[in-house]
Structure 1
Amino acid sequence: MGLHDLRVAILASLIVCAFVEADDSCPGLPACFCSKDKTSVNCEGKNFTEFPTNVPTSGVKLYFGYNAITRLSTDQLAYLPYLEKLLLNVNKLTAIEAFSFRNLTRLNYLDLRGNKLTFVGKDSFSDLPTLQTLYLTTNLIETIEEGSFNGCKSLESIYLQSNKLKAVPPLGDLPALKQLVLEGNLIENATFPETFFKCTSMSNIVISNNNIEELRNETFQALQNRSLSTLYLSRNKITTASAGVFSHIRSITSLKLGSNPLDGADLRALIGSLAGKKLASIDLSDIKLNGILMLDTFSLLSNTTITSLKLTYNKIQSLENNVFYGLNRLIELDLSNCQLQITNEASFNGLDSLNLLNLEKNKLTDIPRNLPSRLTKLYMDDNQITAIPDSIFGNLEYLQELYIRYNSIQTLTQGSFMGLLKLERLNLYHNVIATIPGKTFDPLTSLKGLDMAKNNLANIQQSVGRFSSQGSLQYINLADNNCVYLQPDFFKFMTSLTEVHLERNNLGGLIAENYGGSFFASLTSLNQLYLMENSITHIPGPTFQSLESLQVLNVSRNKLRDWDSTLFRTTPKLRIFDVSYNLVANLQDENLRELSASLRSMNLTGNPFMCDCDLRWFRDWIDHTSVQLTNNLTYTCNGPAAWKNQPLMSFSRQKINCFVFTWWMITAICVTLALVIIIVSGLLYRKRWPIKLFIYKLRRTRRLRANDGQGNYGAINPDDGVYDAYISCSEDDTDWVRTHLLPVIDNGCLIKDEPFGGEFKCYFGERDSQPGSVAVGQMYEGINASRKVIVVLSRNYLNPTNLFELDLTITALYEKKLEDYVVIHIDKGLPLQKFPKHLANKIRRNEILEWTEDAHAQALMKGKLTDILKNREVAADRDTV
């Protein structure tokens, strides 16, 4: 056998051993995975064509999805009495014989979705007394015979969506059935068979996306006196509805009838059958209303408890007076995307409890008058509104959110927001507002968020105290206004602001002239400031002098060449600084010195760096800073010619000659070289143990080739077998090991004929090392021949030799040659930061054993150690990080 073949054989053996030790193999099912106790079996995607007969009888959860199983026969699974969960999804099942699942008295979850079933015969799922959930989704089922579910007294949910059923199937006596999903079939007749009289727990029914054209009085008769949580009939072809179609049902919490071609008369018939019932929400989106709601359509719901009505995507050009009369308990009304153009003075009469009104994406040119007085949220985005008249919201004293984005508002008046004393969010984004009269925002004393981005506020006029009522304002957005001027006291009264957006304006001149730093002086709570694309050429030093809470600053896409050395002196919390796409050619120590120690990210992308002698300090700073430089690999040199378009990261002081050598420079170079030699020598000394290991491995490889090729070189005798534990300790702690550790766990001896009383074979260097072998070889071979490593941690352990021994342990752990390492802490008092990172993490997670002088604690510790050593979990089974 050649050396290559020998290596392949050894590798294969190790892989087999790893699987055996992992204990995840399944007897008789070599391609599958089992849990250790053989209760969970995973055979997904193994190309089975039939269900195997040698699944462990202890199986509780079986995963057989994504195979090619075609059939289940009678009593085929009867030998699995403990089975609770069975997944046969995405197979090729075409038939399930009667009583295929017999004797599965504990089965509660069955997944058969994605198969090719066309027929469910009698007793196919019979005698499953504990079955609760059944998935038959995405099959080809056309027929389900009555009696298919005999004995399924606990069945709660049946999912039958995406099949080819043409009628509601007779499911039989299922007293626990709560949820039935029939979405996406070919159902034309929605009448529930009489067998549903026995389904007394039914609460959720989904029959959306079928071919139902008519709802008759007898359609839901079998659901007599049921209290349904949901009934979804949307996306059908319903054109006709009898007046008593819902009369048999006691209550419906949520009813969806959207995307059906119902006209006004049919809608009235449907709603009429809901009169007097407990009802929470109705979805009537996208039905056929011919541009108008019939006046008394909703009056029939006056005795219901309806709180939510959705009428989106209908064609309702106008709202007549009192059209919603009777809905005095309604809380939410959605009229978005309805092509609505006209509302009348009394269109919203009777909506005494309405909190949310959505009028988005219509064709309104005016804000409706006499809106419901209890509104808290009003959405009118994407209409054609041109003005906000005086006192139009005067009766909305409870309104908290007002959104009128994407309109054509040109004018605000001093009384536009009169009466909105509780308004917290005002969003006027993307209008054409050009002026703000002096007292426009005075009533908005509770305002927290104001968005006026993408308007035409080129010049906000001088007006003392224009925002004097906005002491609660936390967010303001004035981006994209082409604004060139804001009065110096603009932010004076906005003392609670935490986020300010001024991007894409023309405020460069205003900021450059802010020599005293008064513009942002009152914003002591500001966290985020956005000044992108403002043609800023200079930011005076005092500009941010009051922004002690600033965390995010974005000045990208301006014309900055640098910044004042004192600019960030008073911003100790700054974390993110974006100065990308400016004109920064070079940065020096004075530019970055005052950036706070809390800075985590800086973006300099797209700046024209001049890669000459002046850039050397900044280039060195890049190599040593802990600040993340966003996209730093894309930084390029803009000059000089020799470096133009070259990556900035390829530039260094070694690649450019900036000196005229003199005698003192030569002296300095010599001194520097001497220092380099000292440093390299120091590094070699510090790395002496890894170097020794490298040399040992080279020699070991050569000797292996020279000998018999069986790996017999080294300190560990192959006849001794694998050690249970390798003991890693300081020389100063060997007495403790002899006295307290070996007597507890070791089955060997130190003195002939005086063995210890432990159970485990331990490697203890003082006893087990081979005379004449190098120390690093003893460590390497001993650790790799052991299942676990015991680290005896004390202040004596923190020396180069033991720390290298610990590094070997961690390496073996990551290479999955070692199961774990155990830390016994025998010397308290060391600060946590003095430990290596992996040890410190283990201590923080309390994954160490503590040695104390207390006898009871010692006994407890020894017991835990014994349990850990008995555990044979390998690194492959767990996260080794």
Structure 2
Amino acid sequence: MDILMAAFLALYLGSAGLVSSLPCPPCRCQVFKNGTMQMNCINTNLTEIPSPPKTGKHKYKLSVYFIGNRLPVLTKKIMTPLQTHQNLYYLSLRRNGIRQISCDAFQSLDMLYGLDISDNNVTNTSLEKSFWGLRNHTSLRLNISSMGLHVSDDFFHHLQNIPDLNITMRNNSLSEIPHTAMKVLRHLSYLDLGRNDFSDIKLPENYTLWTYELRLDNNKFRKFPNFCILNSSRSQFPNLKRLHFKYNKMEDLNSGYYDCLHSLTHLYLDGSPLRILRRNQFARLPKLYLISLAYVGCAMDKIEGFVFNNTALKHIDFHKNHIWINEHNLTMFHGCTSLESLNLEDNILQKMTQNDFDQLFKDLHFLMYLTIGRGGLYYIPRVITSSLTKLRELELYGNGIPSWEDGRLDNLTRLEKLHMRNNRITVITQRSFPEHFIKGAMSLDFSHNIFSCTCNLLWFVEWMKSNEKIISYLSDYRCESPHFLKGTGLLNLTLSENKCLLSQNERIITLAAGGILIVFLVVGAVMYRYRWHIRYFIYMVRYSQRQEVDTREYEYDAFVAYSAADRQWVIRNMLPVLEGYENLKLCVHDRDFEVGKLIVDNIIDAIETSRKIVIVLSNEFAISDWCLFELNLIQRHVLENGQRLLVVVMLEEIDTRHVTKAMRAMLQTTTYLMWGEEEYARKAFFDRMKMILRRQEQN
């Protein structure tokens, strides 16, 4: 504690502005610009209080820190050195082994504003009587923590008429305070009962306290105490603005117990093992400005929608909860239309999609401060840069963000601070930041990223060197690659613009040559991959150019010649598309040949009455005698009536052993359609088939 006190004093001295030091051994006395003087007698083993140094005509406000000494009894006589100073403002007598205090010990300290007698072993009776000397004060800040107190009915009797009274009673193992003791504290403006053993606060019915700040942290509350007067919307703390309820044992919040706190502006519920946050949990607190719910997520089972629905709410602290934010709780911030600050540090957002983030931040258009540290992000959510345009500070540290596209942050025209340390960022260019941020940034932290120290980083390195004052942790900006620069500080790099321009030209030439080679390879691969489609296209162009008008009437649009083994392919693939969707009429021997008629006559009639002839060529077709006979009849008809009548479908590659002279001649003089199992190949096949078989009136 003494180390903390020394640190506090050092901070205070630095902020107040030291003017001079005065001799007052063995203590230290100092005067400050704000018109105050301090006498620090900490751990000096004194047995009496020394007199403050004389300051002539100057009347400084005096603060005395007499801490960690030996002063078992405190009387008016012992306090005499301080009574001579008319402006004694603050007195700390903490940890001096005090056991007895006389009733008049503080009687003549009329200007005393703050009194700290904590960490002493004063008896309850002696302490109660010592308050008599403080009874006429108009304002008093009294600290009686860590004293093993037992509060009697008359404990605060002498303090009841102080108009502005603050009492701190931390760490006293208190589990209750008598009603009669509380009744006299109607003017109590601040009460700190933290680190005690309270499990409930019970005040007399219809009794009110005008306290504006109440601290009940680190007690044993298993449920939220009822601050509302029974059967009424009025509160027993009608002026309460700040309520500290951190680190208790509550698993649930009954909003009916605090909805009556109409003046409440700050609510701290950190560290409570809450299992559920309900819809409109804080909606009926009309002046709620800040809510802190950190360290509550370990046992959290459910977060309902519109939990923080309150248009007055400006700040939400929801960090260190390790809650998975997903589709079940994306609406918890809906209704927070005035929110300015949101801290989501150490929650889990790694499975969130862009649409999920759109939903989560849907109502937060006035947000100015956003923290998502260690959230598992791998990109900057779109909604942040497109909708949260009033952001001044954005903290996305400790994630896995590698980069973002140029101009992504341009909409954040008010951005002043950007902290993205401990990500996976390799390169930062001038287009990574908005122009206004480059010129007017107040704080930047990109330390502990994995920078690639190439010419692409030249601009950032130069910008860092000219803006060192706004960049945090300069020594932690180091190269990760290339390997020969690993560990080198960015400020120590020897990149030059001329060198980078030279290497850039070399890269351009190399890339151009490589690009041309890749284009040739890709074009060649595409032409090989789609060689049949290209052949089909060329054929169809030629076909359309030489197509003659045929005015004859035909019974069928096409006669289909196929082997028995390919019957299922014709029925399942060809007929549903050409007859079902294209309304063409095909002649297939299994269905359309006349029963009882010679097969040869049926084939000749089908050829004569069909506008086109389709041969479904396969290995089974090539080894079938009937199919080869059918092929000869077709070829004779084609020779007499023109090659345009014939359409050849190649179901598979034909084994050269099965290819006859007639078949080879047909394949050499006729462009055929190749069937493929892929979806794109099927579509190309039928597109060309439909073009070939369409009727003249469709042209």
Q: TM-score range by the shorter chain?
A: 0.5 to 0.7
Alpha-carbon separation, structure 1, partners of 2:291 and 2:133: 41
1:402 paired with 2:267, answer yes
Q: Which runs of structure 2 are paired with 1:572-583 in the superposition (5 Å)?
A: 572-575=435-438
Which segment drifts farther, 423-432 or 211-220? 211-220
Corresponding position of 2:363 = 493
Are the equivalent residues in 1 in contact too, given 2:421–2:445 (CA < 8 A)? Answer: no
Q: Is the partner of 2:176 in helix, strand or coil?
A: strand
Alpha-carbon separation, structure 1, partners of 2:68 and 2:367: 49
How far did 1:412 drift?
Answer: 1.3
Alpha-carbon separation, structure 2, partners of 1:409 and 1:660: 62
1:476 paired with 2:346, answer no
Q: Is the partner of 1:339 in helix, strand or coil?
A: coil
Alpha-carbon separation, structure 1, partners of 2:427 and 2:105: 75
Map Cα deviations across residues 92-128 of structure 1 (whole Å, 9 max, x no partner): xxxxxxxxxxxxxxxxx9954458xxxxxxxxxxxxx
Alpha-carbon separation, structure 1, partners of 2:207 and 2:414: 49
Q: Which letter does structure 1 place at the counterpart of 2:359?
A: D
Q: Which runs of structure 2 are paired with 1:100-111 in the superposition (5 Å)?
A: 111=22
Are the equivalent residues in 1 in contact too, given 2:49–2:79 (CA < 8 A)? Answer: no
**TM-score normalized by the length of structure 1:** 0.44
How far did 1:341 drift?
Answer: 3.2
1:344 paired with 2:211, answer no
Corresponding position of 1:288 = 148
Alpha-carbon separation, structure 2, partners of 1:453 and 1:373: 30
Corresponding position of 1:457 = 323
Corresponding position of 2:212 = 355
Structure 1 residues 230, 557: CA separation in 2 closer, same or farther (over 3 Å shift)? closer
Alpha-carbon separation, structure 1, partners of 2:437 and 2:102: 67
1:310 paired with 2:168, answer yes
Corresponding position of 1:522 = 387
Map Cα deviations across residues 273-316 of structure 1 (whole Å, 9 max, x no partner): 54465452322122232xx4223312442233342112233222
Structure 1 residues 573, 382: CA separation in 2 closer, same or farther (over 3 Å shift)? farther
Are the equivalent residues in 2 in contact too, given 1:323–1:348 (CA < 8 A)? Answer: no
Corresponding position of 1:679 = none
Map Cα deviations across residues 689-744 of structure 1 (whole Å, 9 max, x no partner): xxxxxxxxxxxxxxxxxxxxxxxxxxxxxxxxxxxxxxxxxxxxxxxxxxxxxxxx
Q: Which letter does structure 2 place at the counterpart of 1:572?
A: E
Aligned pair partner of 1:505 in 369, 372, 375: 375
Structure that is richer in helix per residue: 2
Corresponding position of 1:213 = 72
Which segment drifts farther, 492-501 or 403-412? 403-412
Are the equivalent residues in 2 in contact too, given 1:600–1:628 (CA < 8 A)? Answer: no
Q: Is the partner of 2:226 in helix, strand or coil?
A: coil
How far did 1:497 drift?
Answer: 0.9
Aligned pair partner of 2:296 in 431, 449, 456: 431
Structure 1 residues 383, 372: CA separation in 2 closer, same or farther (over 3 Å shift)? same
Alpha-carbon separation, structure 1, partners of 2:215 and 2:275: 22
Alpha-carbon separation, structure 1, partners of 2:478 and 2:77: 74
Map Cα deviations across residues 815-849 of structure 1 (whole Å, 9 max, x no partner): xxxxxxxxxxxxxxxxxxxxxxxxxxxxxxxxxxx
Superposition RMSD on alpha carbons, in Å? 5.1
Corresponding position of 1:791 = none
Alpha-carbon separation, structure 1, partners of 2:276 and 2:163: 41
Q: Is the partner of 1:324 in helix, strand or coil?
A: helix
Corresponding position of 1:699 = none
Are the equivalent residues in 2 in contact too, given 1:381–1:406 (CA < 8 A)? Answer: yes
How far did 1:651 drift?
Answer: 6.4
Corresponding position of 1:440 = 307
Alpha-carbon separation, structure 1, partners of 2:444 and 2:47: 61
Structure 1 residues 347, 650: CA separation in 2 closer, same or farther (over 3 Å shift)? farther
Corresponding position of 2:100 = 240
Are the equivalent residues in 1 in contact too, given 2:48–2:78 (CA < 8 A)? Answer: no
How far did 1:330 drift?
Answer: 1.4
Structure 1 residues 407, 659: CA separation in 2 closer, same or farther (over 3 Å shift)? closer
Q: Which runs of structure 2 are paired with 1:584-599 in the superposition (5 Å)?
A: none
Q: Which runs of structure 2 are paired with 1:341-740 in the superposition (5 Å)?
A: 341-346=198-203, 352-370=209-227, 372-432=237-297, 433=300, 435-442=302-309, 444-461=310-327, 466-483=332-349, 484-485=351-352, 486-508=356-378, 517-518=382-383, 520-536=385-401, 539=404, 544=409, 546-559=411-424, 571-575=434-438, 603=446, 606-607=449-450, 609=452, 615-616=454-455, 618-619=457-458, 622=461, 628=467, 631=474, 635-636=478-479, 638-639=481-482, 649-650=493-494
Structure 1 residues 540, 417: CA separation in 2 closer, same or farther (over 3 Å shift)? same
Are the equivalent residues in 2 in contact too, given 1:322–1:346 (CA < 8 A)? Answer: no
Alpha-carbon separation, structure 1, partners of 2:419 and 2:66: 52
Q: Is the partner of 1:265 in helix, strand or coil?
A: helix
Are the equivalent residues in 2 in contact too, given 1:160–1:180 (CA < 8 A)? Answer: no
Are the equivalent residues in 2 in contact too, given 1:392–1:417 (CA < 8 A)? Answer: no
Q: Is the partner of 1:391 in helix, strand or coil?
A: helix
Alpha-carbon separation, structure 2, partners of 1:382 and 1:406: 4
Are the equivalent residues in 2 in contact too, given 1:390–1:418 (CA < 8 A)? Answer: no
Map Cα deviations across residues 222-274 of structure 1 (whole Å, 9 max, x no partner): 979x9975565443333234556666777854433322212322232223554
Larger Rg: 2
Q: Which letter does structure 2 place at the counterpart of 1:425?
A: L
Q: Is the partner of 2:255 in helix, strand or coil?
A: coil
Alpha-carbon separation, structure 2, partners of 1:157 and 1:548: 46
Which segment drifts farther, 494-503 or 554-563? 554-563
Q: Which runs of structure 2 are paired with 1:256-271 in the superposition (5 Å)?
A: 256-271=116-131
Q: Is the partner of 1:344 in helix, strand or coil?
A: coil
Are the equivalent residues in 1 in contact too, given 2:341–2:370 (CA < 8 A)? Answer: yes
Are the equivalent residues in 1 in contact too, given 2:100–2:122 (CA < 8 A)? Answer: yes
Alpha-carbon separation, structure 1, partners of 2:113 and 2:29: 25
Q: Is the partner of 1:317 in helix, strand or coil?
A: coil
Corresponding position of 1:4 = none
Alpha-carbon separation, structure 1, partners of 2:414 and 2:25: 56
Flag structure 1 segments of 5+ consecutive residues without an equivalent: 1-108, 116-134, 139-155, 182-203, 576-595, 666-881
Q: Which letter does structure 1 place at the counterpart of 2:324?
A: A
Alpha-carbon separation, structure 1, partners of 2:133 and 2:463: 76
Structure 1 residues 319, 280: CA separation in 2 closer, same or farther (over 3 Å shift)? same
Q: Which letter does structure 2 place at the counterpart of 1:309?
A: I
Structure with larger RCO (C-alpha < 8 A, sep 6+): 2
Alpha-carbon separation, structure 1, partners of 2:189 and 2:337: 31
How far did 1:429 drift?
Answer: 1.6
Count of residues in correspondence between the two structures:
460
Alpha-carbon separation, structure 2, partners of 1:506 and 1:469: 26
Flag structure 2 segments of 5+ consecutive residues without an equivalent: 1-19, 31-35, 228-235, 511-699
How far did 1:447 drift?
Answer: 1.3
Are the equivalent residues in 2 in contact too, given 1:434–1:457 (CA < 8 A)? Answer: no
